[in-house]
Amino acid sequence: MERHTVDAKERILNAAIELFSQKGYDAARVSDIADAANVNKALIYYYFKSKQDILDCMVESLLENALSLAMDFIHSSVARMVEEGQLEVQADRLHFTSEEARSIFQRETLSLYQRILDYVIEKRNVIRILMLESLKSGKHQNALFRFMKFLSGDYETLLAIPGTERRLSLSDEMTLFRFFFSVIPIVSFAAYFDDFKAVSPLSGEELRNSFLSVYQAVINSLIAGSDILLKGKSA
């Protein structure tokens, strides 16, 4: 019985994702979702309070999974490098103690973005919905900013790592960079992945790899010598 319950809820969510992506959230009706999921409309209201509740569930699931990826990176990579003396988290920068440490960080950061990119491509229909809803005045208008926080990692978690500075802060420039050169490109790539693939001679795998190559150049551009500056000098 429990298995059937999970299957029904998943069918409802999958049907809603498909309909919200194709028709838009406002145009899709609960009865449409019920028909697409092959369930009784009453069953939808058993699992969800409203259509808005279905959307909330989609967005929260997406953000929580993105957070899990980012936190895994902080704990398994950043914290380890700090503990091993390869990385110093200072008030205005991340400082690498050797060329090898910088190379390790670049490699592991790229690995994180590979995982995030694969995840958002897999969830591209939800990403498309998220982008559309974030442009409206409503509950999810700040969802992309929450996604930025999750993609980049929670800096409070960095401060919890033994040996890190308690004055860690980001410059306005770095905050802008995180959103417009980190979050927007990756979610836009996922949202338009199918459209771009339809007119491109490249396969989906080739598109993914090309995007990662560009992203690697962006990551490398952040590193000035042995530092990643988080806060510029005051004028």
Residue 193 has pLDDT above 70, yes or no: yes
Are both 7 and 104 inside the same structural domain? no
More confident site: 179 or 170: 179
pLDDT digits (tens, 9 = 90+) for 27-86: 999 999 999 999 999 999 999 999 999 998 998 888 888 878 877 887 788 888 888 999
Are both 117 and 35 inside the same structural domain? no
Are both 100 and 19 inside the same structural domain? no
More confident site: 125 or 151: 125
Q: Domain containing 62: what range?
A: 57-229
| Number of domains the chain contains | 2
Are both 42 and 78 inside the same structural domain? no
Greatest alpha-carbon pair distance for the chain in Å reads 65
| Residue at 235 is within a domain | no
Q: Which residues of 136-157 are buried (b: 16+ CB within 10 A; e: fewer)?
A: eeeebeebbebbbbbbbbebee
pTM for the predicted model, two decimal places: 0.81
Closest CA to 223 of 94, 77, 86, 75: 94
| Residue at 26 is within a domain | yes
| Residue at 173 is within a domain | yes
Residue 2 has pLDDT above 90, yes or no: no
Are both 22 and 101 inside the same structural domain? no
| Residue at 234 is within a domain | no
The Cβ of residue 25 has, within 10 Å, a number of other Cβ atoms equal to 20
Are both 85 and 29 inside the same structural domain? no
Band (pLDDT 50/70/90 cuts) for residue 172 is confident
Residue range 137-157: average pLDDT? Answer: 62
Task: Give the pLDDT score at 42.
Answer: 94
Residue 5 has pLDDT above 60, yes or no: no
| Residue at 73 is within a domain | yes
Are both 14 and 65 inside the same structural domain? no
Are both 100 and 69 inside the same structural domain? yes
Task: Give the pLDDT score at 234.
Answer: 41
